[in-house]
Amino acid sequence: MGAGVCLPLFVPGNRPERFAKAAAAGSGMVILDLEDAVAGPAKAAARDAVLHEADMLAGAQVLVRINGAGTPWHDADVAAVAGLHRAGLLLAKAEDPDRLRALADGLGPGRATWALIETARGMANARHLALAADRIVFGSVDFCADLGMAHRRDILLPFRAELVLAARLAGRAAPLDGVTTALDDPRQVSDDAAHARALGFGGKLLVHPRQIEPARAGFRPSESEVEAARRILRQAGAGGALAVDGEMVDEPVLIRARELVAQWEELA
C-alpha cells in the first residue's frame, strides 16, 4: 500500500503463528495486539511472543497495541516495545497527551506513536492528543461502550468529524476509522470504508485479512469520479478559475481532483 490510504490489520499478540501470514496479507501494516484481543492471564505470554517476533516480520510496517495507562500491564508493554528495534506503538484508550509525548521520547526518532481514542476523556482531548501523537485512530466500538451509546453512523457523525478536524489542525495525517466487526460481510466493510472516506478519514482498522480488499474498494474513488477529475485537470491547463461541465473550477477543486486521481492510482 502507498502512503495515502492506511489499512492496518490487527493480529492477537498471543497468536504468533499468525504474525507472518498477517504481514504478508497485503494491508501494508499489522498491529500486534496486547490489549482487547488477549485475556489477562495470556498477556505475559503474548508480550514475550511480540518481543521475540516483531522485529523479524517482513513485508509490512509493525505497530504494537499496548494496554492503556493505569492498567496492570501498561509498564511491561511499554518496556517490551522499547526493546524492539523498529515497531511503533498504538496506545489503547489514550487520554493524556503528556503520556503520549513521554512514550514517543522513550521510543526515539523513527518509531511511530499512535493514539487510539475510545473514551469520552480521549475525545475531549482529541486536539491535544493529535498534537502529541503521530496519528490518531478512532476506537468507535469502545467509545460507544464508554458513553452508553448505540454504535450507529448518525450518532457517531459529530465525533468522527471532530477527529478529522483535530488531525487537520495538528497538521497530522488524516485519522483512521475503527473496525467493522462483521467478518463475513464484505459489503458492510466496503460501505463503512466509503463512509469513512467521505468524512475525510485516511483509512480504517481491520480485524481479518478478508476485510482488506473490501476496505480498499470502499476507499477507492469511483470510475465516474476519477473521469470527472481527469477531465477537470485536462481542461484546467495552467490553472486559474474556469468552468467545466457548467461548474466553476478553481484551485480547491483542482486540489481535490489531484487527490482523487492519486487515490485511484494507489488503490487500482
| Residue pair 1/213 in contact by the 8 Å Cβ criterion | no
pLDDT tens-digit readout, 48-94: 999 999 999 998 999 999 999 999 999 999 999 999 999 999 999 99
The bridge status of strand 242-244 relative to strand 247-249 is antiparallel
Three-class secondary structure of residue 61 per DSSP: strand
Of how many residues is the chain composed? Answer: 268
Q: Cell for 114?
A: 499512535
| Residue pair 129/122 in contact by the 8 Å Cβ criterion | yes
Q: Cell for 57?
A: 516480520
Query: What's the rounded mean pLDDT across residues 217-241?
Result: 75
Instruction: Tell me how far apart the alpha carbons of residues 35 and 153 are, in angstroms, rounded to a whole number.
Output: 25
Query: What's the rounded mean pLDDT across residues 205-227?
Result: 90
| Residue pair 252/260 in contact by the 8 Å Cβ criterion | no
Helix (H) or strand (E) holding 113: strand 113-117
- Confidence category of residue 1, pLDDT binned at 50, 70, 90: very low
Query: Which range, of 75-84, 206-215, 221-230, 234-243, averages the lowest pLDDT?
Result: 234-243
When comparing pLDDT for 66 and 243, which is higher? 66
Three-class secondary structure of residue 258 per DSSP: helix
Q: Cell for 82?
A: 522499547
- Confidence category of residue 248, pLDDT binned at 50, 70, 90: low
Q: Identity (one letter) of the amino acid at 261?
A: V
pTM score, whole prediction: 0.87
